[in-house]
Amino acid sequence: MGLISWLASVMILAALAVHAEEGPHRFSVDLPTGWQQASHVRLVLEGLTVAGGQPFKLRAAAIIEGADPVMLGSAGIVGDRSVGSAPRRLPTLLIDVTRPLGSLADRLVTQPAITIRIEAVDGRNVRMGGLDWSAQSVRLERGGRN
């Protein structure tokens, strides 16, 4: 692979990553049509890149102007010590947000989108500094069970 092809590949991958930095990430996510009537709503993170050997949780919260963040849910990422600290890819991570999102229905009735903060935390929900992760896409979807 020539240098130009390699550089183009790196630039495309960088453009696809929604975030690739430390700390909490904020995403503006469209609310799916009819989400209030859905039996299940889930937050879908696709194309995750995570630290290989480090176990952690991704915790999601809705950011509503003039109010405290509302916890939506979390999902654990199992560390894989066989890859050491090398980054690894996970195709999809699902977080069921049905009940907490439903509790916000009256505040979101006229909103087409919601701001969601996602942060890496340890098993005791303490924010983890120095942990890089990224996602190619983040969305809410109506659906069946997780």
Contact call for residues 139 and 35 (beta carbons, < 8 A): no
Task: Give the pTM.
Answer: 0.80
Reported confidence tier of residue 145, pLDDT bands at 50, 70, 90 = low
Cross-strand bridge partners of residue 68: none
CATH code of the domain occupying 18-142: 2.60.310.10
Question: Phi, psi at residue 136, to the nearest 5°?
Answer: -75, -35
Cβ-based neighbours of 5, under 8 Å, separated by 6 or more = none
For residues 103 and 35, give the distance between their C-alpha atoms in angstroms, rounded to a whole number.
Answer: 12
- In the chain, domain spans: 18-142
Cross-strand bridge partners of residue 28: 115
The model's pLDDT over 20-76, given as tens digits with 9 standing for 90+, comes to 445 689 999 999 999 999 999 999 999 999 987 889 999 999 999 888 999 999 999
Between 41 and 79, the more confident residue is: 41
Beta strands in the chain (DSSP E): 25-30, 41-51, 56-63, 70-77, 87-96, 113-121, 137-142
The model's pLDDT over 91-136, given as tens digits with 9 standing for 90+, comes to 999 999 999 999 999 999 899 999 999 999 999 999 998 888 999 9
- Residue 7: the pLDDT is 40
Alpha carbon dihedral 74, 80, 81, 83, in 10-degree steps, equals -130
